[in-house]
A and B are shown apart, each in its own frame.
Chain A
């Protein structure tokens, strides 16, 4: 089976800072790929390079067999790639429903308003936002805003979902719920690339893991292989808490 997403030798510089160096990996359809690494390793930058926010300086991004390198984010979105943000970005003065409808209207299917509304209602029910549909997005709390991010991305009915730390800032119960939700999304046929710091969750969810450090891939493999990799432990050494988590999830 060919890869849904194929990252080929992607590099990205910001001035003198080399944020990504020769990143290469494939993501087969219907899998969950976990992207981990210390803070500042270039994970979010990689997302930005994939969906066109900051196109790579070198290398190619292939999505469903099409070269999407350098396409603006809105064209990438229409090809069926949706994304959530590490720092939530709700459209504050619009209602929750309108927020989700934006995802449906301008996502893969280019729905009209009526159909978008139907999709939005369905997605909101799925992520538990239905009771808040008519509130302004700005009035939600952080956990709800995280759900809103997810709902907007799902409403786009994407082939590929980029999740940037959807678990950060959630309490253990909320994390457990979100893990279930993510798994369900994959079971519905959406491929997932996720950045995550909550180790036990990402180790549990992922079929495959890529570890970034200083913009380079330092390890790749199944969760078990990665957890045992000396390079990874070294990379996390500066962050004993994370290193501890890495072992725990073993």
Chain B
């Protein structure tokens, strides 16, 4: 693969993100910026999860724990220690990465459903712990003093900046996902996904590789968490560690196609778009969850490789572009 062809698969994702960033500016509606923020956030989280799920083959059911933990650490530093946003975000990402490193050493020994269960347990245990942790405000959480936004030129400016930052983080997540996929490290991860024992016999140091994949998949979610709760102005255990959001991330990755760079992006797009439509539609809004459920079931049963997987399999020349 020559160098420029190796990166063609990045073009489409970057175009998608750019379009999302420009959409609110072009239409001039603030509501669109909110929608775009939600989609970008979903893309960042789903692309990060894909490193563990799609490349390495480990099903994390509690991936949102990194978002929540990074969010809490960042928020605490912002509100109680008066840090500014940048270092607080970095600290959130670092904290999430560190948590993943320590957890990874312990739970990545588990395989299949046992790993999935352990990640659920960890999410719930941390949520319950923070619920009792007075430093982080216990069950009521923490609230940001409105004055904090003044340092960024007022609340409106802070919102605008958050939007640019979430787009930047999304790009980072996509580039990391791409770099991992096209690297030797990524080849090792994919070998683990296909057959961990055989991979080890071929020399892939699986315990280490898995741990680093886990860490890489946690850092951006930690930073996104810190940024989101900064923008949100308050943080509570139930907002920070929603188990169903973890599962929604899995759905997004699956929808688009796991193990590809583009898959989680399109999946996040499609899922959030669909939710947005169903929630606002008069006809569906009461049973929107059921409709999503039916669609998910149909996808799982009939196109388990996701949209991108399906296209790649059917149309061979697309493999380079849709990597």
Contacts and interface: CB of A to CB of B under 8 A. Distances in A.
Direct contact of A and B (CB under 8 A): yes
B204 A92 contact: no
Given A98-B190, A113-B183, A91 B203 contact: no
Contacts of A105: 184, 187-188, 203
A106 B195 contact: no
Contacts of A91: 190-191, 194-195, 198-199
Contacts of B194: 90-94
Contact of B184 (A53, A90, A116, A152): A116
The B interface is mostly helix, strand or loop, or mixed, namely helix
B210 to A, nearest CB: 12
A106 B209 CA distance: 12
Contacts of A77: 200-203
B204 A106 contact: yes
A249 interface: no
Interface string B234-262: 00000000000000000000000001000
Contacts of B201: 51, 53, 73-74, 77, 83, 85
B322 to A, nearest CB: 15
A102 interface: yes
B203 A74 contact: yes
User: Which size class do B's interface residues fall under?
Assistant: 20 to 34
A149 to B, nearest CB: 9
B5 to A, nearest CB: 13
B184 A89 contact: no
B45 to A, nearest CB: 24
A90 B194 CA distance: 8
B183 A74 contact: no
Contacts of A83: 201
Nearest to A88: B198
A101 B202 contact: no
Contacts of A53: 197, 201
B196 to A, nearest CB: 10
Nearest to A116: B184
Interface of B: 183-184, 187-188, 190-191, 193-195, 197-206, 259
Given A73-B200, A105-B187, A156-B202, 10 more contacts: A53-B201, A74-B203, A74-B204, A90-B194, A91-B190, A91-B198, A93-B194, A93-B259, A102-B191, A113-B184
Interface of A: 51, 53, 72-75, 77-78, 82-83, 85, 89-94, 98, 101-103, 105-107, 112-113, 116, 152, 156
Q: Which 8 A-B pairs have the closest CB atoms?
A: A106-B203, A77-B203, A91-B194, A89-B198, A73-B200, A102-B191, A74-B205, A74-B200
6 contacts: A53-B197, A72-B200, A74-B200, A74-B201, A82-B202, A94-B190
